[in-house]
Amino acid sequence: MAIGLGPLPEMLPVNGFRLGTASAGVKTPGRQDLVVMELAAGCRVAAVFTRNRFCAAPVLLAREHLQEQAPRYLLVNTGNANAGTGERGLRDARACCEALAERAGVDAGQVLPFSTGVIGEPLPVDRIRAGLPAALAALSERGWAEAAAGILTTDTVPKGASVRLQLDGGPVTITGIAKGAGMIRPDMATMLAFIATDAALPQGLLDQALRDAVRYSFNRITVDGDTSTNDACVLVATGAAGVNLSEEGSPGYRHFVAALADVCRTLAQAIIRDGEGVTRFITVAIEGGATESECEAVAYTIAHSPLVKTAAFAGDPNWGRILAAIGRAGLDDLDVNGVRIWLDDYLIAEQGGRAEYYQESEAAARMAREEITIRVDLARGGAEATVWTTDFSYDYVRINAEYRS
């Protein structure tokens, strides 16, 4: 059950970027599971990838190709991660790139592969190869909604965001899609995101814009603390709008970066709102830290605690579990008497224990909401950090127990 997610918004087309979706039967016959994205000549591409040491073959190959040539196509399959597949996995990923390149009339090095799904199973190259003609035939600048559905695995709804902003040089569009529901704790989130804009940016600023946007969006979400082998986020700038954002300090660039950050945050939060078995969308907001990194450490310790997450599923305001998580987050010289904890607007703990006017019924009413904020003041400084997470439900266990069935 997705929390607070409705249908896809209007997905504005981006000139110079086309998407085509088809069924290759990678895992489930008849399912739309193959997406081709075509980049016009001259596009610039920025990407961030998982830092899991067991990187999937497509991640390794996409990194390699990105360093060698300007990409012209992105190739995405679901149902099979092509991870934990050794040298065969690399050969299979290359074979898929070569098959698309041959049909599209480009070099294989201009194809970036992306896969998501079951780890440790050989990629069904023949099925992907056979599905390419239909995906290419479906290419359209308006193919975002179909692609958003075509990249899903255990997600229950497609995820997208799209904005048009007016800059001094004219209108600019940013549109993106993402997938992810479990094995989510990005370290760059199983997570894939593809974003395109018709603005023109030099490579250095494009890379920087993506890194900055990812830092406070995809790198601030967690379902279960598991960083995937396949995580990737790609930003394509086609330049087709004729708006050149070449100066970092310019108002236009700052406006673009803020809009890109909003798109990434919307997509990242959608992943959490559609987390596997989710019944609660939880914001963990830490303030009063000595440094941002220690605020992050506290936030993730709370967000990853199975005891906190199961209490949230039960609607149980078991503040002692939050207290314990803060205490084991590794902060040196933490004055526990200075720490205060709220559920939404309700103070539940201070001075090292239960708040003076705490009422269980008031705390329970807030913990029973679909959207909960756990706010903590560490009283150590002016730093802050926010992480978005989910509860742990019976369905989370069922989904992951049955994942390979």
What residues have CB less than 8 Å from 7, skipping those under 6 apart?
none
What residues have CB less than 8 Å from 360, skipping those under 6 apart?
317
Residue 281 near residue 212 (C-beta atoms within 8 A)? no
Strand partners, 289: 383
Tell me the C-alpha distance between 232 and 234, whole Å. 7
Residues in the chain: 405
Active site positions, annotated: 190
Side chain identity, residue 365? A
The continuous run of DSSP H or E covering 162 comes out as strand 159-167
Three-state secondary structure string covering 1-46: CCCCCCCCCCCCCCCCEEEEEECCCCCCCCCCCEEEEEECCCCEEE
Q: Which two tokens stand for residue 189?
A: 């989130």
Residue 14 near residue 197 (C-beta atoms within 8 A)? yes
What residues have CB less than 8 Å from 365, skipping those under 6 apart?
none
What residues have CB less than 8 Å from 96, skipping those under 6 apart?
75, 77, 111, 113, 123, 125, 128, 129
Tell me the C-alpha distance between 151 and 119, whole Å. 16
Are β-strands 232-237 and 170-179 bridged in parallel, bridged antiparallel, or unpaired? unpaired
